Amino acid sequence: KNRGSSFPARIQFANQEDKQEFSKFPTKTGRRSLSRSISQSSTDSYSSAASYTDSSDDETSPREKTQVNSKGSSDFCVKNIKQAEFGRREIEIAEQDMSALISLRKRAQGEKPLAGAKVVGCTHITAQTAVLIETLVALGAQCRWTACNIYSTQNEVAAALAEIGVAVFAWKGESEDDFWWCIDRCVNTEGWQANMILDDGGDLTHWVYKKYPSVFKKVQGIVEESVTGVHRLYQLSKAGKLCVPAMNVNDSVTKQKFDNLYCCRESILDGLKRTTDVMFGGKQVVVCGYGEVGKGCCSALKALGAIVCVTEIDPICALQACMDGFKVVKLNEVVRHMDMVITCTGNKNVVTREQLDRMKNGCIVCNMGHSNTEIDVASLRTPELTWERVRSQVDHIIWPDGKRVILLAEGRLLNLSCSTVPSFVLSITATTQALALIELYNAPEGRYRQDVYLLPKKMDEYVASLHLPNFDAHLTELSDEQAKYMGLNKNGPFKPNYYRYQHHSTQSE
């Protein structure tokens, strides 16, 4: 989960031991961010939803209120149950772009593949998540839900979920104590015991491990979406402590392609425009790293008329950059002439203070990779430089000679902070999560052991196929003869399992 980047210092762990355990996990939190619809900053600045989440003057903590939904239930804790109708509309709008989930509901509704499933979930609570949760319910599951981020809850959506009977415990602006209290209320309830976990960041899983290890006796599986959470699971597995099967949905092919190549292709433009109104035509840009993220950025910027060059450490990616028409350079050779410097490496200190010193006046610097340290922002916090906040997410760093460098999002992920994620991308994630739950819940004894799994190739293909109608795309079917010739099953999988790894690159995102 991406909390690391937005407020790591603010969560205090219940006790020192917890803290140590957390701190064992690498700070490298990955760029899972794209699957997060709403970060604190985006909520503040651009999200349409934000406008509905009133900053009302009701300062009472939800924990101290007694609220009842129209069916008489009070097994939830949200900001204001009265916002339910408002939230319902938000959910309906989100449904328009998430037709894959709706279609999944329809296909699987008769057989109720999640009948009997008791899912405890910890994710961002947004209209898109609500579409997921309501799909799980439609498929037969009972759900209890909490937020994985203290800022990202859309209060009216939480209210709408509570109104239809989901036990949701979340509001925007929770304290840390609230955060863990909400998680606890989801897990620790009388007469209900979870048998499935859907997590985003690993906090819920961690809490259960620490506080209610016995719950795992009944749990049939964990579905985890974030880089950080997946990393934790692999650590547990390595340490022999993972006691249930877990599904890593972060690394499914479809999700990866969308989160990286396609999403970045659009969000790099969006993020730059919203923050700086810069004109792309004729701009000289260097993109550091030519992995999937870099490829997406380069492709979009070139298409809009920028003159783009690339830095790489890996000769194979460098050769691809050459063939795609990008000059491969060292940053030092070009940094003086650039209008924009964009990092996409996953590495640290890719842009150093020395290079920042050599940039020309007006150069824009931003980060599309996963690490907050790609740009050595810390090195800019020295007395001779003046920081001037000119807009939300935009700082001018002013050198003594008057030169300004324009730093976006303080070096954090640009597309997390300064652009939005289309519902369509979130639909792919949510559909993958739903299928992973169905798979784990229905898998015959012995198919999965106490390990971390990738989604079976065929289900990956199924996620993709559910999204094709959005594009009015028509698949061709193999004839029997052709299937035999190719040695394939007519219904897939169509590619070997290892095909999925194509997007997993370690040093250039």
| Contact set for a second copy, span 319-348 (CB under 8 A) | 319-331, 333, 337, 346-348
DSSP string, 327-342: EE--HHHHGGG-SEEE
The residues in 384-423 that bind a second copy, with binding defined as CB under 8 A, are: 390-391, 394, 396, 404, 419-423
376 belongs to the binding site for a second copy (CB under 8 A): no
The residues in 354-373 that bind a second copy, with binding defined as CB under 8 A, are: 361-362
Determine what percent of the chain falls in helix, strand and coil, rounding each to the nearest 5. Answer: 45, 15, 40
* Residue 321 and residue 328 in contact, taking contact as beta carbons nearer than 8 Å: yes
Q: Which of 273, 357, 358, 376 is close enough to bind a second copy by CB under 8 A?
A: 273
Backbone angles phi, psi at 90, to 5 degrees: -55, -45
* Residue 248 and residue 235 in contact, taking contact as beta carbons nearer than 8 Å: no
Give the residue with the Cβ less far from a second copy, 214 or 506. 506
471 belongs to the binding site for a second copy (CB under 8 A): yes
CB neighbours of 134 closer than 8 A, spacing ≥ 6? 91, 161, 164
Closest contact distance (angstroms) between CB of 76 and a second copy is 26
DSSP string, 267-279: HHHHHHHHHH---
Give the residue with the Cβ less far from a second copy, 210 or 273. 273
Give the residue with the Cβ less far from a second copy, 14 or 468. 468
Torsion angle (degrees, nearest 10) of CA 157, 158, 162, 164: 20
The amino acid at 278: V
Sign of the torsion angle spanned by Cα atoms 27, 32, 34, 38: negative
* Rounded Cα–Cα distance for residues 224 and 23 (Å): 19
The residues in 39-58 that bind a second copy, with binding defined as CB under 8 A, are: 46, 48, 51
CB neighbours of 16 closer than 8 A, spacing ≥ 6? none
496 belongs to the binding site for a second copy (CB under 8 A): yes
Give the residue with the Cβ less far from a second copy, 195 or 276. 276
* Rounded Cα–Cα distance for residues 305 and 284 (Å): 10
255 belongs to the binding site for a second copy (CB under 8 A): no
Q: Which of 205, 254, 432, 433 is close enough to bind a second copy by CB under 8 A?
A: 254
200 is in an annotated binding site: yes
130 belongs to the binding site for a second copy (CB under 8 A): no
Q: Which of 266, 357, 376, 410 is close enough to bind a second copy by CB under 8 A?
A: 266
497 is in an annotated binding site: no
Give the residue with the Cβ less far from a second copy, 11 or 483. 483
> Of 112, 51, 505, whose CA–CA distance to 317 is shortest?
505
Closest contact distance (angstroms) between CB of 194 and a second copy is 32
Closest contact distance (angstroms) between CB of 73 and a second copy is 28
Q: What x/- string results for residues 73 through 112 when contact with a second copy is judged by CB under 8 A? A: --------------------x--xx---------------
* Residue 285 and residue 307 in contact, taking contact as beta carbons nearer than 8 Å: yes
Tell me if the bond preceding 383 is cis, omega within 30° of 0: no
312 belongs to the binding site for a second copy (CB under 8 A): yes
472 belongs to the binding site for a second copy (CB under 8 A): yes
Closest contact distance (angstroms) between CB of 505 and a second copy is 6
DSSP classification of residue 348: S
* Residue 310 and residue 256 in contact, taking contact as beta carbons nearer than 8 Å: no
* Rounded Cα–Cα distance for residues 43 and 61 (Å): 20
Closest contact distance (angstroms) between CB of 10 and a second copy is 25
274 belongs to the binding site for a second copy (CB under 8 A): yes
Closest contact distance (angstroms) between CB of 136 and a second copy is 23
303 belongs to the binding site for a second copy (CB under 8 A): yes
Q: Where are the alpha helices (DSSP H) in 287-408?
A: 292-303, 315-323, 331-334, 353-358
282 is in an annotated binding site: no
478 belongs to the binding site for a second copy (CB under 8 A): yes
415 is in an annotated binding site: yes
378 belongs to the binding site for a second copy (CB under 8 A): no
Q: Which residues are annotated as a binding site for substrate?
A: 126, 200, 225, 255, 259
Q: Which residues are annotated as a binding site for NAD(+)?
A: 291-296, 312, 415
